[in-house]
Amino acid sequence: MAAEVLIIDDDTRLAAMLSDYLRSAGFTTRSAATGNSGLQEIARKAPDAVILDVMLPDHDGFEICRRIRAGSGLPILMLTAKGEETDRIVGLELGADDYLAKPFSPRELAARLKAILRRTQGSSSIAPMDILRFGRLEIDRGQRCVRLDGNERPMTGYQFALLVNMAENAGRVLSRERLMELTKGEELEAFDRSIDVHISRIRAAIETDPKHPRRIITLRGSGYIFARNQDESDR
């Protein structure tokens, strides 16, 4: 079944162009011209992913992203103004899975959507009980969730994929560039700060004290390392 994408953008010409291209790429689409109507569409029937513009007539995209993320892990790709790094960082901090700056290539947007959906939908080859355990922390690759002391911790699809890649390489130093390659499946520019924002959000979810992390350690100038031994119970 084709994945359905909800486009929330008040630029009706752009939305129509995206709809046409995404349909040719194998998606089905719906559109909403305001943040409120987008939320209503999601409540009526949740799509498989959302394309969300930052600039909307009733609410900004950040507020809509926050409202969506408060109720679901629905994949979100945000559209930001060209060169507005602050917009991208804020969007990621609020739970967006990815961002794309305008103007952009529809082909790149479709490729990013497919990458997001691959990460969030997972692979059917993963066994339901395939769980990585690190003391009090459990990373359930089958259910695609993270639990700390048995309690599920909130995380976006991208952040979950990033955490799995780090956990599967526990004890190894991974550069930011290598983490981006593993998680996105594509080469990104080395100065892209999105990886740091996502790791900060993961730490907030799984660390007892995010300011003094014991699970994801920063090695200045080298990258990150996911610790093998993290809790007293590991020793």
Strand partners, 138: 133, 147
Rounded to an integer, the average pLDDT of 148-152 is 91
CA 96 – CA 210 distance, rounded (Å): 20
Report the pLDDT value the prediction gives residue 58, as an integer from 0 to 100: 94
Q: Is the dihedral of CA 84, 87, 93, 97 positive or negative?
A: negative
DSSP state of 2: P
Report the pLDDT value the prediction gives residue 2, as an integer from 0 to 100: 82
Instruction: State residue 186 phi and psi, 5-degree precision.
Output: -155, 155
Report the pLDDT value the prediction gives residue 193, as an integer from 0 to 100: 63
Report the pLDDT value the prediction gives residue 129, as an integer from 0 to 100: 43
Report the pLDDT value the prediction gives residue 133, as an integer from 0 to 100: 87
pLDDT tens digits for 75-92?
Answer: 999 998 765 677 777 877
Report the pLDDT value the prediction gives residue 73, as an integer from 0 to 100: 80
Instruction: State residue 131 phi and psi, 5-degree precision.
Output: -115, 130
Q: Which two tokens stand for residue 51?
A: 């394309």
Helical H runs in 102-193?
A: 106-121, 157-168, 176-184
Residue 100 has pLDDT above 80, yes or no: yes
Q: Which one, of 192, 199, 208, lies nearest residue 159 by Cα? A: 199
Mean pLDDT taken over the chain:
85
Within a 13 Å sphere around the CA of 99, how many CA atoms are in the beta-carbon half? Answer: 31
Question: Can the peptide bond before residue 128 be classed as cis, meaning omega within 30 degrees of 0?
Answer: no
- Lowest mean pLDDT segment, chosen from 29-33, 59-63, 131-135, 186-190: 186-190
* Greatest mean pLDDT range, 19-28, 80-89, 126-135, 224-233: 19-28
Q: What percent of the chain has pLDDT over 90?
A: 51
Q: Which residue has the higher pLDDT, 159 or 84?
A: 159
One-letter identity of residue 152: E
| pTM for the predicted model, two decimal places | 0.59
CA 197 – CA 179 distance, rounded (Å): 13
Region of residue 26 (phi > 0: left; psi between -120 and 50: alpha; otherwise: beta): left
CA 144 – CA 73 distance, rounded (Å): 11
Domains, the chain, ranges and CATH?
Answer: 4-121 (3.40.50.2300), 131-234 (1.10.10.10)
